[in-house]
């Protein structure tokens, strides 16, 4: 059975509408599950319609569908919530790879059947290859950095990298133009892909750990735009719609992340923040004699009779796997009538919403996760702030020192609370490499140790004090 | 060329619609948004299926097979992991 092209296109339209509903559902946690299911249904319909759109030989197709489904399901089931940034990076990359492969295959098919491709189709093919390759290799490097297989999240900077990037961009443009003029030279396409691959690697290697949220959002938007470009190649409006929705999503998230760090996209991509040497003297001057360390028992006493506690999680919480212990602490405090809230900075963690997912995994209700603009006015009516694994996002230098790498970054105003408890292994600086004057403030107490271990100690002390 | 302008119109409208939709997503759901939109970008599978199934040349069949596999990882992995996360947000309701 082969469907008419009208029938197929109508099903594609239905799929497009379902994709829109998928994103619409994400406007609230209650409707999000349904939305995601509608999106999946739309995708299933699109696949079935395509299989019925022409006489296709199905063995290779089913082999591919099987391999992809098994691998995808395996990854989705196995990945721990702390590994979600890596997972998303990898998925972005596969989307890009698919786009570049389809672009290449279509180009060869057109030559093989001696058809003519329109100018716009050729430009779109070149763009599929370019964006697809940058996305694939960039995502792969991001994955390796996040997984800490290589680089350990530290940016790699080498002299002349900007010149090399410019040369690669220009080279890609020239190769793209050559392809458009002489599409029968399909090798040009693979040369373009090679240049774009190198570009993808070089664009991401200089970007360090805490800037990863921006990279992930940007690659997300690229994977969408590569899909949209493939839509132009195939004259397929559904591909264009889905690709643009994803592209828009990535672009908006990128903007939100950049704004939350008060840095331009160019500065994140090319600034090389995180590679600076730490100034030990400046650190010594700020901290000398002013650091107060506190024990679990002392903290248990301090938490007696408080009314509101705000917990500020950061990447360190994910590293220490402290989300479940933190949830237990929340329950314990709530049982004593304390109001417990979570203050979440937009760039806390390694991807947008990273902390929310971790806390949700530990059964923290989402209405307790408060975003920055809403939690900040509450700090001066907060008795105790417990910071676990965050540093730069609570650094008051952002407000006071215009020369600091984090100058002007909106921060959580934790120093306005009565008491601040900083859970941290040592006094080492955060990703930005600057000391944090918060540690030396009168109302700040350092609770040294591993984020999970000390939270468990605190819980034990609280229970003991109550017994 | 008219066809191209039509496609460009669809592209522009969809970008606008996407912008409107995404600005309404709360920060709490930004990770599922990223993974869910990721699954949507796997829609390239449509092109991949055609390349894998038409068997023009061995090379295009191989490219098509690889593209179907990659896109399907994106689709299945993306929707499933998003579902896993969203269930966690939902269960306390």
Q: What angle do CA A85, A226, A61 make, to 5 degrees?
A: 90
**Cα–Cα distance for residue pair A60/B57, rounded to 1 Å:** 13
- Kindly tell me if the per-residue pLDDT of A86 is higher than 60: yes
Mean pLDDT of A226-232: 91
Has A297 been annotated as catalytic? no
Strands A308-313 and A369-371: unpaired
Q: Do B83 and A67 touch (CB under 8 A)?
A: no
Q: Do B36 and A22 touch (CB under 8 A)?
A: yes
How close are the terminal C-alpha atoms of chain B, in Å? 52
Q: Do A227 and B93 touch (CB under 8 A)?
A: no
pLDDT in tens, A336-365: 999 999 999 998 888 889 999 999 999 999
Closest alpha carbon to A31 in A375, A356, A366, A257: A366
Pick among B1, B6, B31, B80 to test the A interface (most A CBs inside 10 A):
B31
For residue A400, what pLDDT is reported? 87
Residues of A in contact with B1 (CB under 8 A): 118, 120
For residue A150, what pLDDT is reported? 61
- Kindly tell me if the per-residue pLDDT of B93 is higher than 60: no
Percent over 70 (pLDDT), chain A: 96
For residue A266, what pLDDT is reported? 81
For residue A33, what pLDDT is reported? 94
Number of cross-chain residue pairs from A and B with Cβ atoms under 8 Å apart: 386
Q: Is A421 helix (H, G, I), strand (E, B) or coil?
A: strand
Q: Is A144 exposed, middle or buried (0-12, 13-18, 19+ CB in 10 A)?
A: middle
**Cα–Cα distance for residue pair A33/A22, rounded to 1 Å:** 9
Q: Which of A363, A373, A392, A413 is catalytic?
A: A392
For residue A49, what pLDDT is reported? 95
Reported ipTM: 0.95
Percent over 90 (pLDDT), chain A: 60
For residue B91, what pLDDT is reported? 63
Q: To the nearest whole angstrom, how far is the Cα of A15 from the nearest Cα of chain B?
A: 10
- Which chain A residues in 269-308 lie under 8 Å from chain B, judged by CB atoms? none
Mean pLDDT lowest among A200-209, A246-255, A323-332, B47-56: A200-209
- Kindly tell me if the per-residue pLDDT of A151 is higher than 60: no
In DSSP terms, A424 is beta-bridged to A448
Mean pLDDT of A320-335: 94
For residue B32, what pLDDT is reported? 94
Q: Do A39 and B64 touch (CB under 8 A)?
A: no
For residue A358, what pLDDT is reported? 92
For residue A285, what pLDDT is reported? 78
Q: Do B37 and A366 touch (CB under 8 A)?
A: no
For residue B89, what pLDDT is reported? 87
- Kindly tell me if the per-residue pLDDT of A153 is higher than 60: no
- Kindly tell me if the per-residue pLDDT of A279 is higher than 80: no
Mean pLDDT lowest among A32-36, A83-87, A149-153, B11-15: A149-153
Q: Do B25 and A361 touch (CB under 8 A)?
A: no
A329, two tokens: 């602490």
CB A11 within 8 Å of CB A45: yes
* Average pLDDT along chain A: 89
- Kindly tell me if the per-residue pLDDT of A211 is higher than 90: no
Q: Is B17 exposed, middle or buried (0-12, 13-18, 19+ CB in 10 A)?
A: middle
pLDDT in tens, A93-140: 999 999 999 999 999 988 888 778 888 889 999 999 999 999 999 999
A356 touches chain B (CB under 8 A): yes
- Kindly tell me if the per-residue pLDDT of A277 is higher than 80: no
Residue of chain A whose Cα is closest to the Cα of B89: A360
For residue A288, what pLDDT is reported? 80
For residue A100, what pLDDT is reported? 93
Q: Is B12 helix (H, G, I), strand (E, B) or coil?
A: helix
- Kindly tell me if the per-residue pLDDT of A147 is higher than 90: no
For residue B64, what pLDDT is reported? 94
Closest residue to A46, CB basis, from B3, B37, B43: B43
Q: Do A346 and B84 touch (CB under 8 A)?
A: no
- Kindly tell me if the per-residue pLDDT of B18 is higher than 60: yes
The residue among A271 and A173 whose pLDDT is bigger is: A173
A270, two tokens: 């090319």
Phi-psi region of A384 (alpha: psi -120 to 50; beta: other; left: phi over 0): beta
Mean pLDDT lowest among A35-39, A292-296, A433-437, B76-80: A433-437
Mean pLDDT of A427-434: 80
Q: Which residues have CB under 8 Å from A442's CB, separation 6+?
A: none
Residue of chain A whose Cα is closest to the Cα of B81: A76
pLDDT in tens, A458-467: 999 999 887 7
Residue of chain B whose Cα is closest to the Cα of A222: B41
For residue A155, what pLDDT is reported? 65
Give the H or E element holding residue B45: helix B45-54
- Kindly tell me if the per-residue pLDDT of A212 is higher than 60: yes
* Average pLDDT along chain B: 91
Closest residue to B53, CB basis, from A28, A60, A366: A60
Mean pLDDT of A68-95: 92
Q: Is A290 helix (H, G, I), strand (E, B) or coil?
A: coil
State the pLDDT confidence band at A379, using cuts at 50, 70 and 90.
very high
Q: Do B18 and A248 touch (CB under 8 A)?
A: yes
Residues of B in contact with A75 (CB under 8 A): 73, 77, 81
For residue A273, what pLDDT is reported? 62
Q: To the nearest whole angstrom, how far is the Cα of B2 from the nearest Cα of chain A?
A: 11
Pick among A83, A100, A105, A220 to test the B interface (most B CBs inside 10 A):
A105
- Kindly tell me if the per-residue pLDDT of A424 is higher than 80: yes
Angstrom distances, CA of residue A20 to CA of A244, A387, A421, B13, B35: 11, 38, 44, 12, 15
The residue among A262 and A195 whose pLDDT is bigger is: A195
Q: To the nearest whole angstrom, how far is the Cα of B58 from the nearest Cα of chain A?
A: 10
A46 touches chain B (CB under 8 A): yes
Pick among A41, A49, A245, A254 to test the B interface (most B CBs inside 10 A):
A245
Q: Do A57 and B53 touch (CB under 8 A)?
A: yes
Q: Is A52 exposed, middle or buried (0-12, 13-18, 19+ CB in 10 A)?
A: middle
């Amino acid at each position: 059975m082969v469907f008419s092209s009208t029938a197929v296109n109508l099903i594609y339209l239905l799929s497009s509408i379902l994709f829109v509903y998928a994103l619409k559902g994400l406007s609230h946690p209650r409707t999000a599950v349904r939305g995601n299911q509608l999106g999946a249904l739309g995708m299933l319909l699109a696949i079935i319609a395509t299989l019925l759109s022409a006489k296709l030989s199905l063995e290779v197709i089913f082999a591919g569908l099987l391999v992809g489904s098994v691998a995808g399901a395996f990854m989705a089931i196995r990945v721990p919530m702390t590994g979600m940034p890596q997972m998303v990076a990898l998925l972005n990359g596969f989307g890009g790879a698919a786009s570049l492969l389809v672009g290449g295959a279509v180009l060869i098919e057109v030559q093989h059947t001696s058809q003519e491709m329109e100018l716009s189709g050729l430009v779109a093919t070149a763009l599929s290859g370019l964006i697809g390759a940058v996305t694939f290799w960039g995502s792969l490097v991001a994955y390796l950095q996040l997984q800490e297989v290589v680089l350990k999240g530290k940016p790699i900077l080498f002299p002349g990298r900007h010149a090399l990037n410019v040369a690669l961009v220009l080279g890609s443009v020239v190769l793209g133009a050559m392809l458009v003029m002489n599409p029968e030279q399909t090798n040009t396409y693979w040369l373009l892909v090679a240049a774009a691959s190198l570009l993808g690697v070089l664009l991401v290697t200089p970007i360090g750990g805490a800037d990863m949220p921006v990279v992930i959002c940007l690659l997300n938007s690229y994977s969408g735009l590569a899909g949209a470009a493939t839509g132009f190649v195939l004259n397929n409006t559904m591909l264009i719609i889905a690709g643009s929705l994803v592209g828009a999503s990535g672009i908006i998230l990128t903007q939100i992340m950049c704004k939350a760090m008060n840095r331009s996209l160019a500065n994140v991509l090319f600034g090389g923040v995180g590679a600076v040497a730490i100034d030990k003297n400046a650190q010594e001057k700020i901290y000398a004699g002013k650091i107060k360390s506190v024990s679990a028992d002392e903290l248990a006493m301090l938490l007696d009779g408080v009314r509101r506690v705000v917990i500020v999680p950061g990447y360190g919480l994910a590293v220490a796997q402290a989300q479940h212990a933190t949830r237990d602490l929340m329950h314990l405090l709530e049982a004593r009538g304390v109001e417990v809230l979570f203050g979440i900075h937009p760039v806390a963690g390694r991807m947008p919403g990273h902390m929310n997912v971790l806390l949700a995994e530990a059964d923290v209700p989402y209405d307790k996760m408060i975003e920055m603009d809403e939690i900040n006015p509450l700090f001066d009516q907060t008795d105790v702030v417990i910071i676990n694994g965050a540093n730069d996002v609570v650094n008051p230098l952002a407000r006071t020192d215009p020369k600091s790498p984090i100058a002007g970054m909106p921060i959580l105003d934790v120093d306005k609370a009565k008491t601040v408890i900083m859970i941290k292994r040592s006094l080492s600086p955060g990703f930005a490499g600057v000391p944090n004057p918060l540690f030396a403030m009168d109302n700040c107490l350092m609770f040294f140790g591993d984020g999970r271990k000390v939270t468990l100690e605190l819980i034990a002390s609280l229970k003991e004090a109550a017994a | 060329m008219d066809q191209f302008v039509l496609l460009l119109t669809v592209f522009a409208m969809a970008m606008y619609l996407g912008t409107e939709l995404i600005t309404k997503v709360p920060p709490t759901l930004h990770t599922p948004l990223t993974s869910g939109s990721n699954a949507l970008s796997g829609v390239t599978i449509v092109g991949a299926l055609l390349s894998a199934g038409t068997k023009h040349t061995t090379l295009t069949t191989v490219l098509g097979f690889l593209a179907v596999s990659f896109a399907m990882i994106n689709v299945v992995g993306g929707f499933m992991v998003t579902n896993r996360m969203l269930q966690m947000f939902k269960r306390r309701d």
